[in-house]
């Protein structure tokens, strides 16, 4: 067996590893040693607060399912000419924002299809309305794919589109649409989207304009191990120039109701190994988020031992991955307990990762379950998990 100790020790101490070394670790390093090194890198990065793991309360507001990109992994979209298309009006959207505030949410993710008629003006109007009504809500939304689309619709540059929606109220980008950045897997699953290089170029433009983002990765659609590491390399190279990616968030492909039919899902161990290698390889990205929504709560909890410092969100509503079969749900008390039983102190965070509430003493934990993650309001008959979240018929 090859000796991985030197590479793991270097990475655990904050040293940089090459893409070739990262691929070797991802494919072959002993799982326990890989996780231990990633956890050591996390503890070193967060010395002084390494005992804390975070979560956020947010809501995904899906404004339309009309989409021209027809990604093969997506079960949410409807072709624009379909009779299944729906769009939410601004009053509907603002009611959902009100519910978010009432339930302690601090962030909304405005997420939907690439509607053939929605240019920059649509997002300016909606973001301005949200900020006027609920200035306390952070609009952490969209991604490079939406910028590429709205720019084309409105006939403006990506730079102008970013400036305008930022001025209207967008706080940061959610890193949506990254999927797989390398050309072969991206073309296979999302042939009508911009290239991975263009996705990164738009993110770099945003970062240089002062609009930060997260970065994401969709695992399990048929990509190779080498392509997964190449995805990380592409992100790291941009981060070296901009420093604008706050976090990296891998999640797994969900197999229901889409054209890929679930034949190439990532395993739990592939996911945990990717979390660990990401923590070691992305030495310039602050946060690694575990995704309990797609892999389940127990695996999400395990990710906290493989380099993740954040357990994601209590999503008061989410429809996109739910449409493809992600049925995991939780509430604030359960997420707090998952973090605490992993040996960490839970903390509710802001979008920018500052600690809003640190749950040091279990005696002071929340005692109600009003902040409950969804049963998807469009994908599952019967609506959300909590009766106080009233389901509104789409227009």
Domain boundaries, the chain: 49-364
**How do residues 344-392 score in pLDDT, each as one tens digit?**
999 999 999 999 999 999 887 876 655 555 433 433 333 343 444 443 4
DSSP H/E element including 10 = helix 5-12
Cα 272 from Cα 81, distance rounded (Å): 40
Helices (runs of H) and strands (runs of E) counted in the chain: 15, 10
Average pLDDT of the segment spanning 120-148: 96
In the chain, the percentage of residues whose pLDDT exceeds 90 is: 62
* pLDDT value at residue 258: 47
* pLDDT value at residue 127: 97
pTM above 0.85, yes or no: yes
For 49-364, CATH gives 3.20.20.70
pLDDT-derived band at 305, boundaries 50, 70, 90: very high
Lowest mean pLDDT among 135-144, 201-210, 272-281, 366-375: 366-375
Cα 140 from Cα 196, distance rounded (Å): 21
What letters, b where the CB count within 10 A reaches 16 and e where it falls short, cover 336-353? bbbbeebebbbbbbebee
- Measured CA distances, 304 to 39, 270, 299 (Å): 8, 15, 9
* pLDDT value at residue 311: 94
* pLDDT value at residue 103: 83
- Tokens 């969900």, residue located: 254
CB 172 within 8 A of CB 109: no
**How do residues 97-130 score in pLDDT, each as one tens digit?**
998 888 889 999 988 888 899 999 999 999 999 9
């Amino acid at each position: 067996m090859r000796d991985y100790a030197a590479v793991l020790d270097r990475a655990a101490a904050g040293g940089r590893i090459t893409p070739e070394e990262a691929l070797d670790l991802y494919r072959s390093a002993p799982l326990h040693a890989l996780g231990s090194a990633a956890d050591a890198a996390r503890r070193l990065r967060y010395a002084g607060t390494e005992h804390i793991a975070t979560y956020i309360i947010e809501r995904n507001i899906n404004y339309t399912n009309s989409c021209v990109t027809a990604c093969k992994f997506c079960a949410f979209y409807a072709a624009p000419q379909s009779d299944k298309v729906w769009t939410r009006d601004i009053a509907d959207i603002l009611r959902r924002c009100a519910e978010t505030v009432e339930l302690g949410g601090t962030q909304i993710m405005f997420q939907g299809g690439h509607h053939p008629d929605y240019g920059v003006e649509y997002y300016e109007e909606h973001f301005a309305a949200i900020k006027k009504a609920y200035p306390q809500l952070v609009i952490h939304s969209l991604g490079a794919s939406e910028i590429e689309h709205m720019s084309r619709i409105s006939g403006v540059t990506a730079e102008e589109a970013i400036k305008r929606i930022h001025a209207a109220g967008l706080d940061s980008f959610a890193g949506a649409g990254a999927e797989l950045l390398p050309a072969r897997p991206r073309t296979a699953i999302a042939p009508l989207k911009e290239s991975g290089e263009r996705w990164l170029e738009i993110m770099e433009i945003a970062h240089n304009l002062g609009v930060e983002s997260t970065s994401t990765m969709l695992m399990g659609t048929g990509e190779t191990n080498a392509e997964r590491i190449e995805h990380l390399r592409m992100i790291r190279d941009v981060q070296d120039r901009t420093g604008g990616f706050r976090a990296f968030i891998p999640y797994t492909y969900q197999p229901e109701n889409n054209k890929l039919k679930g034949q190439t899902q990532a395993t739990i161990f592939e996911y945990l190994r990717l979390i660990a290698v990401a923590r070691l390889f992305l030495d310039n990205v602050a946060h690694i988020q575990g995704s309990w929504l797609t892999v389940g709560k127990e695996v999400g909890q395990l990710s906290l031992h493989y380099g993740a410092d954040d357990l994601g969100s209590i999503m008061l509503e989410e429809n996109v991955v739910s449409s493809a079969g992600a049925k995991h749900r939780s509430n604030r008390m359960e997420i707090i307990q998952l973090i605490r039983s992993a040996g960490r102190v839970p903390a509710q965070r802001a979008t920018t990762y500052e600690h809003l509430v640190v749950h040091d003493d279990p005696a002071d934990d929340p005692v109600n379950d009003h902040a409950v993650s969804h049963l998807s309001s469009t994908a599952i008959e019967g609506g959300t998990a909590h009766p106080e979240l009233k389901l509104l018929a789409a227009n």
